[in-house]
Amino acid sequence: MTKTAAPEPSKKSKETKPEAEAKSDKTAPQEPRLHLQCRYYWKMKPQRVFPLTVELPKKKEPPKIEGGVVVVRASIPGAEVTPQEQRLDVTQAGNKVHFYVTPLARGRLPDAHLEVFVPGQPRLDVKLGMRASGQKLAGTLLLLALLVPWLIGQYTVGPWRPTGRVTYSIRDAINPNIERRIEREGRPEEVVGKNVKEFFEKDIGKKPLLNEKWSDGPEFLSDFVLSESASKWASSTYEWTLLAVRDFRLRTILFIFLLLLSFVAWSFGRPRRTLVRKSIPLKQSETPPPSEVLTAQPVA
């Protein structure tokens, strides 16, 4: 007589705790959400009108809301907003409302935001980073691109080139103790140095360190005279500028460089748009919403 083996007890599938929680999350009903999109200019020009649009995404089905309308209010300090409040129909995807923003101040517009009122829900704020700026920098650089090369040309090779006579001293070849002062027509760089030195001597007067040696001062400053140093620096600067204008086309290089800077400043100062997406969870309120929900006041 053969013995039959007893059937083994069926093994129950064991699920780990994370898997069970994930499974319960999938089966649990998800709370409805209201998805909003806000298109606006985050960089604007003062005293210009810019649109601000709040809309529902076209590819997402809007949730069912009591009354089918939410109230949207635009609060932008430093700007005039028309209208201040709109009612958005949320019964159909793609619906939108429009605001028009006119900046009155320059710089950052602090605490710019949208206030969204959903029936039976607390107020929700949507932050909007905004600033208003003009094109003063671009205009200034463009003006410099025209004026600076022209002024340099007039002052180096044009009719404004400095002219005059300069005086210098030489020692006698026979008797070195005798100095002779000779006056001649000076080169432009010599005239520039002479004019700078005369400014310190005639307009400021005799003062230590400025136009005469400081005999009672520290030893390292005993031979320093500001008028002589400034005269040499001005003369050398003019000489190198004249060389650059004649041989290296300094005026053309400056014009192109300042023009490029002006274009870059204009590009950064242009009005720019952005898109902000906000998802609003619609929680069930413990108290039923009032009969009149189309107001701009949050429900307590």
- Give the mean model confidence (pLDDT) for residues 223-251: 92
| pLDDT for position 20 | 52
pLDDT at 299: 43
Amino acid type, 202: K
pLDDT at 297 over 60: no
3 state DSSP class of 268:
helix
> Coil, strand, or helix at residue 19?
helix
For 136-204, the DSSP string reads: HHHHHHHHHHHHHHHHHHHHHTSTT----EEEEEEE-SS-TT-EEEEEEEPPHHHHHHHHHHHIIIIII
CA dist list (Å): 116 to 72, 109, 130, 197: 5, 20, 18, 71
What integer is the mean pLDDT of 212-228? 80
Q: Is 2.60.40.10 the CATH number for 35-133?
A: yes
> What pLDDT is attached to residue 288?
47
Measured between alpha carbons, how far is 40 from 84 in angstroms, rounded to an integer? Answer: 15
Give the pLDDT band (50/70/90) at residue 4: low
Where does the pLDDT of residue 291 fall: very low under 50, low under 70, confident under 90, or very high at 90 and above? Answer: very low
Q: What is the mean pLDDT of residues 36-44?
A: 95
DSSP state of 23: H
> How many Å apart are CA 56 and CA 129, to the nearest integer?
21
φ and ψ at residue 57, rounded to 5 degrees: -60, 145
Model confidence band, residue 8 (pLDDT cutoffs 50, 70, 90):
low
What's the whole-model pTM score? Answer: 0.69
C-alpha closest to that of 96 among 125, 124, 62, 48: 62
At 23 the pLDDT is 52
- The larger pLDDT score, comparing residue 33 to residue 265, is at 265
CB 124 within 8 A of CB 280: yes
Query: Lowest mean pLDDT: which of 3-12, 143-152, 200-209?
Result: 3-12
pLDDT given for residue 300 in this prediction: 40
Residue given tokens 């902000």 in the structure block = 276
CATH 2.60.40.10 in the chain is located at 35-133
Which amino acid belongs to residue 251? R
201: tokens are: 């001597």
Tokens 């005026």 -> residue: 251
* Nearest Cα to Cα of residue 168 among 186, 178, 182: 182
pLDDT at 3: 53
73-82, 184-193, 272-281, 291-300, range with greatest mean pLDDT: 73-82
Q: What is the residue type of 17? A: K
Do 102 and 48 contact (CB within 8 A), yes or no?
A: yes
Q: What is the pLDDT of residue 28?
A: 47
Report which of residues 129 and 20 the model is more confident about: 129
Average pLDDT over residues 142-149: 96
- The average confidence (pLDDT) of the chain is 83
Calculate mean pLDDT across residues 31-37. 86
Q: Return the half-sphere exposure (C-beta side, CA atoms, 13 A cut-off) of residue 274.
A: 11
The torsion defined by the Cα of 209, 212, 217 and 221, in degrees rounded to 10, comes to 60
pLDDT tens profile 146-186: 999 999 999 999 999 999 888 877 776 677 777 777 788 88
Tally of residues, the chain: 300
* Placement of tokens 């700078």 in the chain: 196
DSSP class per residue in 228-269: HHHHHHHHHHHHHHHHHHHHS-HHHHHHHHHHHHHHHHHHHH
Backbone CA torsion sign across 78, 300, 61, 21: positive
Res. 25: pLDDT tops 70: no
Distance CA 229, CA 235 (A): 10
